[in-house]
Amino acid sequence: MKFIDESKIEVIAGNGGNGAASFRREKYIAKGGPDGGDGGWGGSVYALADRNINTLVDYRFARHHRARNGESGRGADCYGKGADDVILRMPVGTVITDINSGELIADLTRDGQKALLARGGKGGLGNLHFKSSTNRAPRQCTPGEEGEHRELQLELKILADVGLLGMPNAGKSTFIRAVSAARPKVADYPFTTLHPNLGVVRVSNEKSFVIADIPGLIEGAAEGAGLGHQFLRHLARTRLLLHLVDIAPLYEGADPVREAHAILNELKKYDEALYEKPRWLVLNKIDLLQDRDAKIAAFLREFGEHTRHFAISAVNGDGCKELTYAIMEHLEQVARQEDMAAAESAQETDIPAL
């Protein structure tokens, strides 16, 4: 199935039913009074986050989603039936925005989360609502309200704790295969990864985290080279970025330092906030180095950026276990800091005003 992570749809809620103007007429009851019922509510359109859905492919071709109108009211105090709501199931991590206003409608970050996309119109009032001591035979009623109509942008941002960055053939797919049960395609040519892959890394029976592998970046991605920036949105929710670098390139003329800086430049062009995320340097393919320590030291000296670094070989697993333990420790520390910040915010909210 093709991976689709963005789409545009149109949602149209149902109109409310019209109210009725009617009078009770039965044998021996010549003037029974007004008995026109209200119209029913029009159907609304909702989005529902479903963890069993992975892409937005269902909305690539089915772009129009319309709810039914409510029924009109009738005589004998009969109210119109409300229309059923339309539920659109979407992947967890979907961001929904209004195309015309730019308003954020919903951010579906947890399974089962429900969001209103277009509200159905309210039913009109029947003439029984207008009776009074001075107006005993009202003939007025109100029409139903129109339902909302919106054009929406759907954008899927995968929920993962850790994201992988790197040039094509840096070993990202091999690394995710080494530390998780995910089995992305691995080959000896660039751009074997054409869509994001997720893997669950289990550090112990009770501890695990999710890692995301996206297609490799190349220099000039901002101008559309390679696959461009189209998959970088999937790193927006991560808490840590791993920058994988091929420390032992096989082709002549390759410069790992220049390629590493090129990745950082493309990241900065795309999103300053993503560039400022915690980022670790992971030097891969150390199994191919002859003088390992000297080569690593020379790379770090020339690279210049002071960041935490690890040396691994994703093929044989050297250093991978230590790296996953360090990642788990970092994520737990971040979670504790977030919990403390949330607790402090709650305490400030609970303080009564003087």
Query: Which pLDDT tens digit goes with each residue over 304-350?
Result: 877 788 998 888 889 899 999 999 999 888 888 888 887 887 776 65
Classify residue 354: in a domain, yes or no.
no
18 contacts 126 by C-beta, under 8 angstroms: no
Element (H, E) at 323: helix 320-350
Residue 102, token pair as written in the block: 């730019």
60 contacts 19 by C-beta, under 8 angstroms: no
Classify residue 33: in a domain, yes or no.
yes
At 94 the three-state DSSP class reads strand
Classify residue 74: in a domain, yes or no.
yes
Q: What residues make up the domain containing 140? A: 1-156
Same domain, 47 and 63: yes
- Report which residue type is found at 286: I
Q: Say which residue, 117 or 314, is predicted with more confidence.
A: 117
Which single residue is written with the structure tokens 């029974």? 32
278 contacts 330 by C-beta, under 8 angstroms: yes
45 contacts 67 by C-beta, under 8 angstroms: yes
Q: What are φ and ψ of residue 116, in 5° steps? A: -80, 125
Domain boundary among 156, 173, 197: 156
Q: Is the pLDDT of residue 233 over 80?
A: no
Q: Is the pLDDT of residue 3 over 70?
A: no
Query: Which pLDDT tens digit goes with each residue over 90-113?
Result: 988 889 999 999 899 999 988 899
Same domain, 135 and 28: yes
pTM for this entry: 0.71
As a whole number, mean pLDDT of residues 190-216 equals 74
Same domain, 104 and 192: no
Same domain, 200 and 316: yes
Classify residue 350: in a domain, yes or no.
no
DSSP state of 134: S
Give, in order, the Cα–Cα distances in Å from 69 to each of 62, 76, 114, 142, 324. Answer: 20, 22, 22, 16, 54
